[in-house]
Every structure is written in structure tokens, then in C-alpha cells.
Amino acid sequence: MKKLVRATALVSLLAILSMPAVADGDKAKFEALERQIEALQTRIAALEAQQTFTSFMPDFAERFHVMHRAGEAGDWAVASHEFQEMKRLTILSTNIDANNGNLMQQMMKPSFEALENAIGHGNQEKFQQALVQTIDTCNACHTAPGSGFVQVTLNARDSMSLRHPHKLMQREMAGGHSHGMSSGMGTMMPAMPAADAHHDDTGQPAHKH
């Protein structure tokens, strides 16, 4: 579609440039045509900048990845922050693709409830269970529209990742923190460095905090 619009605009422009000089009476017609070409070019730029589900999902995966690591480190403040962003992105997904967005919202709801409960109570056991549930849901959601070959995993050593590192500390979930779904930002609780080593995406200790 984008290529067709671009080709149409280019053909129209070449037609104008190749025509001989015309009478003043035809000037208005050509000015109108030029405006149409400009409008087409603007439309092309908008289409090229428009996000698709393919470009949207890596952002969602980034949030899940950081939430996963933060929860394991006991940094419930960061885990909650990333989880809220995951929920916000899921709501926005319907603006990108109504069908896939609605499917995503419906399928992720039980997993989101499990994650929210685990993070809110700082419960590691429930958090791990919710992570597994979420991964299973993600893979089922990929399969539903015919993209079952796209599978995600909790084991970073089995995945490709270019995620940037986050400094994680043992903190309680921040009260009142939101991502545009309600007002208020809340104040982070006093932080304590995590006792265990930070692991990078190879699964190896990277450094002590």
C-alpha cells in the first residue's frame, strides 16, 4: 500500500515536470495537483511512521524482561513500574491492531492479575508461578493468530537479547505509582542493595551492587 501511494505520487510529479509550459488558465489546476501530491507525501510519511504489532511487541518484551529480573532481585518498585507499563501498552495495542489488541487484552488478563497480586505482596513463589503462567499465555497468544513459531522463554540463555542493564535493589512497591491510568507518582521506599550478584543475559554474574 505504501509503495503504491509513493509510486502514484512520483508518477504525478514526473508528469508535471515533463509537460511544456501552459497557459495561466491551467495554472490553478496544476497548483491543485501539486497540493494533492504534497498531501500524498504527507500520508506516506504518516504510514511509514505508524507502529505495527511487529514493532510494538519488542517494547512489551523489554518491559517483561526488566520486570522479571527486578522481581527476582526483590526490587518490587521496578517490577511494579515495568508491570504498569506492560498494562498500559496492552491497552494501547488496540489502537495499533484492534483484533490482535483485543485478543491480547483478553488472554493476558488472568496472567496480569497473578502478576499484580505477586508483586503487590512481594511474594517470590507466586511471582515465579505468575511468570510461568505469563510465558505460557504469551506463546498461546502468538499461536492464536497463526504466529506459533514465535515462542518466548524465561531462560535468558535460550533467548536473543540486547536488553540494557538495570540497577536493581531490594525495594517495596511504590505507592500510588501509575502510567497514565490514574494520577499520582508515589515515593520510592528507602533502597537496599540486593545481596546477590546481578546476572546479565548470559545467566552469569556480572557484578555486585
| Listed range (81-90, 128-137, 149-158, 194-203) with the worst mean pLDDT | 194-203
Same domain, 93 and 167: yes
113 or 173, higher pLDDT: 113
Lowest mean pLDDT among 13-27, 75-89, 124-138: 13-27
| pLDDT at 132 exceeding the cut of 80 | yes
Number of domains in the chain: 2
* 124 shares its domain with 142: yes
Degrees to nearest 5, angle at CA 193 with 190 and 199: 140
* Residue 53 contacts residue 93 (beta carbons within 8 Å): yes
Q: Do 10 and 36 fall within a single domain?
A: yes
Residue carrying C-alpha cell 489546476? 29
Model pLDDT, residue 209: 38
Per this entry, what is the length of the chain? 209
The boundaries of the domain holding residue 25 are 2-49
Q: What is the pLDDT of residue 186?
A: 37
In this prediction, residue 150 carries a pLDDT of 85
**Spatial CB neighbours of 132, under 8 Å, sequence gap ≥ 6:** 154
What percent of the chain has pLDDT above 70? Answer: 64
Would you state the pLDDT for residue 32?
87
Choice between 14 and 195, residue whose per-residue pLDDT is larger: 14
Regarding whether 122 and 88 lie in a shared domain, the answer is: yes
Residues 6 or more apart whose CB falls under 8 angstroms from that of 21 comprise none
* Per-chain mean pLDDT for the chain: 76
More confident residue, 147 or 188: 147
For residues 192 and 170, is the Cβ–Cβ distance under 8 A?
Answer: yes
> Please, which residues bridge with residue 192 across strands?
170
Mean pLDDT of 167-190: 55
Helices (H), the chain: 2-18, 27-49, 53-72, 76-96, 98-121, 124-143
Q: Which residues pair with 171 in a beta bridge?
A: 75
The answer to whether residue 208 scores a pLDDT higher than 50 is no
Q: Note the pLDDT of residue 197.
A: 38
* 42 plus 67 within the same structural domain: no
Per-residue pLDDT, 48:
63
Asked if residue 118 and residue 29 are part of one domain, the reply reads no
